[in-house]
Structures are given as C-alpha cells and as structure tokens.
Amino acid sequence: MINIVLFGPPGSGKGTQAQHLIEKFNLKQISTGDLFRYNMKNNTELGKLAKSYIDKGELVPDKVTIDMLIDELRKPTETNGFIFDGFPRTANQTEALETIVKDELGAEISICLSLVVEDEVLVQRLLKRGETSGRTDDSNEDIIRNRIKEYYTKTAEVAELYKKQGKYVEVNGIGEISEISEKLFAEVEKIK
C-alpha cells in the first residue's frame, strides 16, 4: 500500500500532479476540502457539525476533520493506497493521521512529497489562473502572497516531522508537467 502526503503551496501544480499520481499508482485522493463539501452538501451529522463552526466563523476542530477522514478511509476501495491533500497541516494532525492510517489500514504514511516553486513563479501562475478561474483569491496579488506565506507557516512543523522520519522529499515544481510527474513517480518507485 502506498500512502502519500502531498504538499505544495497554492499554484505549485499540486492538483495536476495529484491526478497523475492517482492514475500511475491507482490511488484514491482524500482532500479535506472535498470531504467538508461532501459532508455539508449531504447534510451528514459531521457535515452539520462542521457547518455549525464555519457559520460562526470558527475553525472546524481537528476531531471533526479526523472523523470525516476515518469515515472516508472505511469506504470500500480497489486502490493501492491514498494521497492525502490538505491534511495534515499541524503536528497534532500529523500524529493523528499516522494513527488513523495504522489503525484503519494497517499501514503507514509512505512518503511526503513536497512541490517546491519560487514565490514569484507562484504569484504569476495564480494571477494567470485568476484571469480564467473566476476565483477572487487568484486575482489579488496581496491575497496570493498572504496565502503562500500562510501555507509555509502552517506546513513547516509537518515537514519537520516527516524529515525526522526520513519520509520528506522535495521535488522541483518548475518545468514541463510531464517532467515533474516523472520526478514524483521516481520518488514513489523508490519506496515500493
């Protein structure tokens, strides 16, 4: 079983590369954003709970996110593992994910792949995406720079934990999409 934590700041190409990893290794992507949207749209108990925090402008507690993650991992799947996207973001979430993967799957996180792209390139990519995406957070340079800064602040401690475990790998996220995919594939092949 291959279980990947995929990191990358906004504009790094993480979404595109996740799809390539999914196709190459037959993985299932678990995105916390998607889990929130699914649970709220379908009015599940966890969705209602998450919405109660969001409606008050509060962060959804880790326990709610973790319970959604466990529910998703328990669904039958014919895949060879998972890509975790948007989780973990903190040291506590990292430890929780390790426990969940061990308890629910009898496995462990195989690797943390981090796409590295210079900030100026990220800003230009997001501004370009903003021209067609309709996303307001992709069209304001100050907001983009803040999102990038937030990403680094939040993920630093998680990266450190995976570095200590020898599972953290940085991959240059600049270049042709297929070349970046090949670099990621090569890192995953090393752990198989």
Question: Would you please indicate which residues are annotated as catalytic (active-site) residues?
Answer: 14, 89, 129, 135, 147
Any known ligand binding at 58? yes
Any known ligand binding at 133? no
Any known ligand binding at 86? yes
Are 33 and 86 within 8 A, CB to CB?
Answer: yes
Are 35 and 72 within 8 A, CB to CB?
Answer: yes
Contacts of 38 (CB under 8 A, 6+ apart): 47
Are 102 and 108 within 8 A, CB to CB?
Answer: yes
Residues comprising the chain, all counted: 192
Number of H helices, E strands in the chain: 8, 5
Any known ligand binding at 87? yes
Residue entry with tokens 């290794």 = 25
Q: What is the DSSP string of 139-155?
A: S-HHHHHHHHHHHHHHH
Any known ligand binding at 169? no
Any known ligand binding at 128? no
Any known ligand binding at 115? no
Any known ligand binding at 49? no
Any known ligand binding at 134? no
Please report, in range form, the residues annotated as the binding site for AMP.
32, 37, 58-60, 86-89, 93, 135, 147
The annotated binding site for ATP is made up of 11-16, 129, 175
Residues tagged in the binding site annotation:
11-16, 32, 37, 58-60, 86-89, 93, 129, 135, 147, 175
